[in-house]
Structure 1
Amino acid sequence: MAISLPNPDSLKIFSLVLLSLLLLPFSLSALFLSLIAGRNPPFHKSCTSSPQRRRRTILVTGLGMAKGLTLARSFYLAGHRVIGADFEHPRIPCSGRFSRSLAAFYRLPRVDGDDNDDSESTKTNTNTNTNKVYSRALRDIIEAENVDLWVSCSGVASAVEDAQAKEFVESHTSCKCIQFDVATTAKLHNKRSFATACKKLGLSVPETHEVTSKRDVHRILAACAKSESPLRFILKPVGVDDAHRADMTLLPLATKVETERHVYGLPISETSPWILQEYIPGGEEYCTHALVVRGEVKCFVVCPSADMLMHYTPVSPASPLWRAMLDFTAEFVRRSARPEDMTGHLSFDFMASEGMGGDEGRRKKKKKKEKRVFAIECNPRAHTAAVLFDHRGEEAEAMVRAYLSAVEGTQKGEKTKSLASAEDSLVVPSNSTRSRYWIGHDVVSLLLYPGLRWGMGFTGFRCVLAAVLDLVSHVLLWKDGTFEIWDPLPAVLLYHVYWPLVMIEAWWYGRRWSRINVSTTKVFGC
């Protein structure tokens, strides 16, 4: 395919490719030393030698992302047979496929339709047919490998499709799935329907309105301006929109004209709805990751969040905020229509505020903990915070047992545990868990970028020094989210094969992008 115009991102693309080439000798040296020092993986002997626990075959999808790779390694070290699968470009190999934790790897058919077809009906039919092919591909893998448990680590674009595949797989095989059904996933995946569901369950969420036109936005803002305690709002796209997802502009702006100008530039329509969500003052945002098996929260972790989270530090279970977020998660599951049928990953984004956050009277009757945390959205899938569960130690063994309880534990129809007994068996990261970072991201964001700004006179040397000291502390005290000394290939190939090929392909086809997430391998378009 010929290139009609040069890609405006050429400079940054080839700078990153050149950086990968320059650092390749260091990575190869680390690979060589790791292959010598890490020849024997740190197996959990208590799991592999236990006669009460049979060896299971577990399918993990999403191996290109750090969360999927983390879980696959944990199952492997616990003595189980792990099969990996992911969407993979024909010319760009998924780095996770080279993990020594895998007995086999399969390329999955993509679930998205043909974006070049302008016919909406054709797109719908194409997506439906493609999803059927995807579900059948998973079933074929499960049958061929005699899989006992499928652990879905879907991305944001394939959560509903994985839910459809779960229903298909469980209706055609004996395999159990760590994935919610279609109705639950679709309800939680949509920001508006999630907020509505929380209100029905009596749980604390910000005031949320779905808008399908710019007129809707102005009407709601005008009505709120007349109240005794006027609220501020943030506009968010309901679907996946890389170009606007980071826009945190508070509305209304200082003048009506400024507000109208800002809203006018947003692609709000009947086919592309947005939500107008109450702004919670305080600025503390958190994300959670939970494993739910038949209505019981089995694993739980909380960490501070950001627009693009690349540093993960666990919040202590002794924190009142941690307790409030766990209570919200457990209550959400418990108050749902059929909690005994809920098995999957459940991740919430919360805002924490010391104040009431507006509309004070509406929340006065709430418990104290519900005044402090507000769920702003839900991700019915595994969160990257799962990397905070280490691969070894008692917590790692307990996490693996928690997943396998979907196969080996209480049978469907029996009563779930009480909240107190469930908390006794709750798996959380150990107190010694180190924060996670990604060396590829930090070298660029804490070394090269600050150095470039300093060289161009945009910042002072003290800022550069502070960034470099952060990088050094991460390397010495934190843990890389992908690299393991006993399994080094995925990290090396991620930085020196996968990302260079992705960058070159983006340049070749003229695809614009603004950011990349190393942990999830997501490229944010612009």
Structure 2
Amino acid sequence: MPASKALTDLFLAFLVLCCLPLSTPILLLNYVYVLIFPLYPVHKRLRRTPGFKSRKILITGVDTRYGLRLARAFHQTGHVVVGAYYEPGPLLNHVRFSNAVSRFYRLASETRGRREASYVANLLNIVEREHADLWIDCFQSADPSVEARTREAVQEKTNCKCFALRAGNVPYLASRDAFLKYLENQGYTVPESYQVTSRAEIHNVLGKARGTRRYLLESLEPNGVRANMARTKLPSRTVSQTYDAISRISITNTTPWKLERDVNGLENISTSAIVVRGSVKLFVASRTIRPGCYQVLEPTSALSRSMLRFVQTFARKEGSEFTTHLGVDFCVDEQPTESGVVQTILPVQVSIHAQPALQSMVGMNGSIALSRAYLSIFAPAESKAEKKMTRPVSQIIQQQPQTDDVALPQNKIIGVYCIGQDLTHFLFEPLAELVAFRNGLTYFLRQLTELLGHLVFWKDDTYDFRDPLPFWWSYQICLPLRLLMTNSLMTNPSNIQHATITNGEKHT
């Protein structure tokens, strides 16, 4: 570790620890207020409601930001949550102190050759031990093939439902290139991509674009796998520079190159959906300001609804066995016309992991929407005959998915942020630049105003007024200790492929 990095970590740890005398009384006051003015216990009332069935939910990756939010949502709506996650070393994870999780299972490292088999076997063990009704995976780096095989094993040997991808969908959802190729074969509009075998083909594509679009040129191995990540942007500033750049490449029929449209300069919008049996149950569109910071797109906007229809159509075509988290990133291509500007959405990326932007479903209404979306997996599947009898003729002809039954974010918040990242980005870094005379006071005040706006109008991704201890533990205990630990303990090991399950531990 460089000396400057070590000094920075020590300073941050000291700064955080200095906040303990202030944050601890605030935490106690928070709990005193909750005890004096308790929120009406909806989850207890629901459990006493005739006909209500409390489910036991197993969440792997419950230590992720969204995993904790989901645990709170199920707890608030009357269900029991069991959590499993990786807990490195002796440091207790912040989610262990949440009142939303009734029991914990620590995930431990395993040798590479035994990871998958051990994970599947131990997950089966925890499902059977806890009699779990539903398993939801919230790991951000889960291997789709492992998740799919785990789903098959759990559903074959237990009665537990699995909110996970099936093996048949993995090949075209595991990578960006495979996803876009699959969409193109299905008739969707995707960013242009060509496999060129001559310089003439490159010039032909550039000539048709007439300078209105930019492209990326990269080499491929004969089998179509990328040989290197060096990319050439085309066209260059001048025609002569473009010809010179193309003349330098070695291209033949046996050494093809990939020419694809450069979408980096276009507006990018991320979407997150909960899909159950081919039906979108919940949908969020957002702009990623930076990792951990998401600005929610207006749910009623034309862009948001257009993306929702795209995701609905895709999910519906995948059939009744398609159940997964589905995140599709779009770029917005604007083309001027005589009557105005035409916006076209183009899919550019896919993810089947639980998306952090789903945390924008806030409050009790958000908790109800989240739990309903996942628990719809227990609803009886509608038969083809019933669909044929109940669907209006116009709907059969148009084949347009309906949007009325999809849960969308409320307009209570603008976005989701991480207080730790925001303090660094909007306070510490601008302050350091101000002291070093790299930026002026106006810039510092503008960044500070942005920070205050997030604190007032946005939602932190960890803090919950009724469950504040995980937030306090994460920043006041875990953060300084992690900063003081060695590099080996500072790495993020939250990977489903490394996980096996040890003993269950009762929440106290």
TM-score range, shorter chain: 0.7 to 0.9
Say if 1:106 and 1:19 are closer, same or farther in 2 by CA, change over 3 A. Answer: same
Query: 1:353–1:372: 8 Å Cα contact kept in structure 2?
Result: yes
Relative to the length of structure 2, the TM-score reads: 0.80
Say if 1:305 and 1:27 are closer, same or farther in 2 by CA, change over 3 A. Answer: same
1:283 matched to 2:266? The reply is yes
Query: 1:291–1:300: 8 Å Cα contact kept in structure 2?
Result: yes
Relative to the length of structure 1, the TM-score reads: 0.77
2:312 counterpart residue number = 330
1:465 matched to 2:445? The reply is yes
1:270-309 map, 5 Å:
277-280=260-263, 283-306=266-289, 308-309=290-291
1:34-45 map, 5 Å:
34-39=30-35, 40=38, 43-44=41-42
Say if 1:11 and 1:159 are closer, same or farther in 2 by CA, change over 3 A. Answer: farther
Say if 1:232 and 1:149 are closer, same or farther in 2 by CA, change over 3 A. Answer: same
Say if 1:281 and 1:190 are closer, same or farther in 2 by CA, change over 3 A. Answer: closer
Say if 1:219 and 1:495 are closer, same or farther in 2 by CA, change over 3 A. Answer: farther
Give the match's secondary structure for 1:13. Answer: helix
1:78 matched to 2:77? The reply is yes
How far is 1:32 from its partner? 1.3
CA radius of gyration, larger in: 2
How far is 1:200 from its partner? 1.6
1:351-362 map, 5 Å:
351-355=331-335
Say if 1:331 and 1:237 are closer, same or farther in 2 by CA, change over 3 A. Answer: farther
Say if 1:222 and 1:456 are closer, same or farther in 2 by CA, change over 3 A. Answer: farther
2:21 counterpart residue number = 25
Which of residues 349, 356, 373 in structure 2 aligns to 1:402?
Answer: 373
1:234-245 map, 5 Å:
none
- Consecutive unaligned residues of structure 1, counting only runs of 5 or more, are 115-125, 239-243, 265-269, 361-367, 517-526
Q: Quick one: distance in 2 between partners of 1:17 and 1:217?
A: 57
Say if 1:322 and 1:509 are closer, same or farther in 2 by CA, change over 3 A. Answer: closer
How far is 1:228 from its partner? 4.7
How far is 1:468 from its partner? 0.6
Give the match's secondary structure for 1:341. Answer: coil
1:378 matched to 2:376? The reply is no
Q: Quick one: distance in 1 between partners of 2:29 and 2:39?
A: 14
Say if 1:216 and 1:198 are closer, same or farther in 2 by CA, change over 3 A. Answer: same
1:332-380 Cα distance to aligned partner (Å, 9 max, x none): 11223xx100011111111112228xxx9xxxxxxx9995111101101
Query: 1:108–1:137: 8 Å Cα contact kept in structure 2?
Result: no
What letter is aligned with 1:471? L
Say if 1:179 and 1:459 are closer, same or farther in 2 by CA, change over 3 A. Answer: same
Superposed CA RMSD: 3.8
Q: Quick one: distance in 1 between partners of 2:483 and 2:197?
A: 40
Query: 2:202–2:259: 8 Å Cα contact kept in structure 1?
Result: no
1:162-173 map, 5 Å:
162-173=147-158
Query: 2:64–2:139: 8 Å Cα contact kept in structure 1?
Result: no
Q: Quick one: distance in 2 between partners of 1:248 and 1:491?
A: 42
Farther off after superposition, 410-419 or 466-475: 410-419
Which of residues 289, 292, 302 in structure 2 aligns to 1:310?
Answer: 292
What letter is aligned with 1:84? G
1:235-255 Cα distance to aligned partner (Å, 9 max, x none): 8999xxxxx99x999556554
Q: Quick one: distance in 2 between partners of 1:340 and 1:447?
A: 49
Structure possessing the higher relative contact order (Cα contacts under 8 Å, 6 or more residues apart): 2
Q: Quick one: distance in 2 between partners of 1:318 and 1:487?
A: 31
Give the match's secondary structure for 2:367. Answer: helix
2:301 counterpart residue number = 319
Say if 1:108 and 1:163 are closer, same or farther in 2 by CA, change over 3 A. Answer: farther
Say if 1:35 and 1:435 are closer, same or farther in 2 by CA, change over 3 A. Answer: same
What letter is aligned with 1:301? V
Q: Quick one: distance in 2 between partners of 1:6 and 1:257?
A: 45
Q: Quick one: distance in 1 between partners of 2:386 and 2:277?
A: 10
1:85-132 Cα distance to aligned partner (Å, 9 max, x none): 112213333322221100101112457x55xxxxxxxxxxx1xx3111
Query: 2:313–2:401: 8 Å Cα contact kept in structure 1?
Result: no
1:490 matched to 2:470? The reply is yes
2:160 counterpart residue number = 175
1:222-277 Cα distance to aligned partner (Å, 9 max, x none): 67445454642358999xxxxx99x99955655469979xx99xxxxx9xxx9864
Say if 1:216 and 1:321 are closer, same or farther in 2 by CA, change over 3 A. Answer: same
How far is 1:482 from its partner? 0.7
Which of residues 192, 199, 203 in structure 2 aligns to 1:207?
Answer: 192
Q: Quick one: distance in 2 between partners of 1:150 and 1:291?
A: 14
- Consecutive unaligned residues of structure 2, counting only runs of 5 or more, are 221-227, 392-398, 493-508
How far is 1:327 from its partner? 0.9
| Percent of aligned positions that are identical | 27
Q: Quick one: distance in 2 between partners of 1:195 and 1:65?
A: 28
The structure where strand makes up a greater share of residues is 2
Query: 1:109–1:134: 8 Å Cα contact kept in structure 2?
Result: no
